[in-house]
Amino acid sequence: MADRKAELERKKARLEQMRRERKEKELSKTRNVGDDSKTSVKSSGSDASGAEPDDILREFGISPAPEGSPATPKKAAAQSQAVKEVEVPTSVSHTTPRKVRLSVAKVNETSIPPRENVSYSKETQTIIADPVDKDDDDNDLDFIENLEGSSSHAHQFRGHGHSHGHGHTHKMPHVEMVAPATTSEEQNKEHKKQLSEEEKKQILMSEGFQKFFDHSSRIVERALAEEVDIFADYSGKDSGGKDDEAMAGERLKVNRDFYDDKWSKHRIITSLDWSAQHPELLLSSYGSNEDATNVPDGVALIWNIKYKKDTPEYVFHCQSPVMSSCFAKFHPNLVLGGTYSGQIVLWDNRVNKRTPVQRTPLSASAHTHPVYCITVVGTQNAHNLISVSNDGKLCSWSLDMLSQPQDSMELQHKQSKSVAATCSSFLSGDANNFIVGSEECLVYSASRHGSKAGINEAYDAHQGPITAIDTHRVPGQIDFSPYFLSSSFDWTVKLWSIKEQKYLCSFEDNSDYVSDVQWSPTNPALFSSVDIMGRLDLWHLNHETEVPTASVVVDTNVALNKLRWHQTGHHIGVGDDMGRIYIYDVAENIANPKADEWSKFVRTLQEMKQQATEREEDSTLLGSAAPIR
């Protein structure tokens, strides 16, 4: 206790001393300027004592820092000069020989993220709203070329223009700035030049211009393709003489052919149909082009036989190969296509689109297998689209709404065996009963409604898948509507009556798959068939039932896939599997029925029936079930 008191007194004394010394230093500030070196020496010398005054000061609550901070080197020097023992508190750092270990500290980071501006921009265009179609894939061609070149590219230009039109309408406002001042003449010239280039593009992209261009290019194309006389159908041939007939007389003559390099090349023609309202229009549908990769798989073209131009009137395409197509009978602007994917697509030629305007869903409610048969049945006010797909499903649709079928039915024969339908044909004037041909070599008759809805009867005689069915539809005094023809891979065409289980007559003149057969729309006893050897046959049953009355082989020896009679009965359109359509003229003496054609046909049929029964008896005698060749 006494020690402590003594210590305290000692400390107090030292403090007072220090205070006095400081006062002295302040007075003698100015005298001592450059004595830094001495300071340092002295400071190192008196280490031990330096710690103490600090402690003392702290004890008394006086922090050494504020006094030391304003200390200039002069002051320090002055202080240190005066006091040898006590060290200036500022130089405390030198007194304590602390081991200083320096190292890099952790990086201090501060970050404030920027505010994210959620912006929503929406543009609306009120003028020149082009219906830009995203499916439009016309990507090639310079439209400038098209202006000069053949307007067969008009369609592509149109598509191309769409994609540009959209981009251009953004840039629309006032791009034409006049060049810097030159002589008035030059200025005018330049002004003109600039204007015309910019303006040209603008105008070309506008909707009004494109419509006009489309319309007038058609007309100009026709005019250009025309030669002197318009009745070229009856005078010379356009596509070079192809007078291949085995028979005497010009019974079947090639009129012209339709082929488009871009759209129909290497594509098999899957169906043909003539328009009811415009008899000169021929619709052809095409399968896929395996050679090209970036072209749409399914194409449908509308050709015109009235004019000499050799480009299609309309080009439609879709993403899946089109297996069957038809004009919508009561809607002159609509074209229907059944595709490989099971989708049924609807094109409209009023719209400037080449892609379908309506599609059926690709779901189990519709078709999931290739649609090989589509027909429009009914009357003007009550009609349906009937489609049969390869899995035996029959759907009936309303043309207004293709989003779901109005009605669907599974065609099954006996023990729930689905019919793999490849072709179908409705009975003449009947929207209920129809005939279906299948891959299983059977022909079925079926009904849509009624007590016997579904498959009724099966006709078994062919040995190969059925390729085509056609029911008789020639109007006349005598109704031959129960009779139908079937063609198949077994090289034969057979004539049936739906009332009989056994066929009436078999036409076996072909030596390869018969791909299509059709009755003439005007002559009750006439029908035509094509096979894959390139042969087009005309059978006139009142003249001859064993061999065709006229037969022609197509030049190039390609397989003929489809055939379709023109409504007048004077032309036959034949499609091959390389994308070419031939239009054949049928000689009038054969095409036009004579007055007694119907009664003669009745007799012919009776003869056939007789032969059929004889055949039956023979076969039962021989013990074989079906008469085979």
Partner 1 sequence: MDDFQSGEETAFVVDEVTNIIKEAVEGSIGGNAYQHNKVNQWTSSVVEQCLNQLTKLSKPFKYIVTCVIMQKNGAGLHTASSCYWDNQTDGSCTVRWENKTMYCIVSVFGLAI
* Interacting residues with partner 1 (CB under 8 A): 4, 7, 51, 55, 58-59, 63-66, 92-93, 96, 100-115, 117
148 burial type by CB count under 10 A (0-12 exposed, 13-18 middle, 19+ buried): exposed
Q: Which two tokens stand for residue 51?
A: 């710690």
DSSP bridge partners of 208: none
43 vs 352, beta carbon nearer partner 1: 43
Cα distances from 347 to residues 327, 331, 333, in angstroms, run 10, 11, 8
Our CB check for partner 1 shows the closer of 109 and 546 to be: 109
Helix, strand or coil, per DSSP, at residue 466: strand
Count, residues in the chain: 629
Find out whether 565 and 235 touch, Cβ atoms under 8 Å.
Answer: no
Q: How far is the CB of 15 from partner 1 (least distance, A)?
A: 14
Burial-class residue 358 by CB neighbours within 10 Å (0-12, 13-18, 19+): middle
- Give me the least distance between CB of 114 and partner 1, in Å please: 3
**Residue closer to partner 1 (CB basis): 73 or 131:** 73
Q: How far is the CB of 64 from partner 1 (least distance, A)?
A: 8
> Any residues with CB less than 8 A from the CB of 473 and at least 6 apart, and which?
428, 429, 481, 519, 521
Shortest spacing between CB 17 and partner 1, in angstroms? 19
Q: Give the nearer residue to partner 1 in terms of CB position, either 64 or 627.
A: 64
Least Cβ distance, residue 61 to partner 1 (angstroms): 8
Q: Is 34 or 114 the residue whose CB approaches partner 1 more closely?
A: 114
Burial of 509 per CB tally in 10 Å (0-12, 13-18, 19+): middle
* Least Å from the CB of residue 66 to partner 1: 7
Distances (CA, A) of 573 to 319, 330, 481, 565: 26, 22, 23, 6
CA distance to 254, 476, 528, per residue, from 588 (Å): 14, 19, 15
Q: Least distance to partner 1 from the beta carbon of 180, Å?
A: 41
Phi and psi torsions of 194, nearest 5°: -60, -50
Would you say 57 or 441 has its CB closer to partner 1? 57
Q: Which is nearer to partner 1, 93 or 184 (CB)?
A: 93
**Which residue number, 105 or 248, has a Cβ lying nearer to partner 1?**
105
Least distance from partner 1 to the Cβ atom of residue 2, Å: 14
Q: How far apart are CA 221 and CA 585, in angstroms?
A: 24
Put the strands of the sheet holding 393-397 in their side by side order.
371-378, 383-389, 393-397, 407-410
* 508 within 8 A of 492, measured Cβ to Cβ: yes
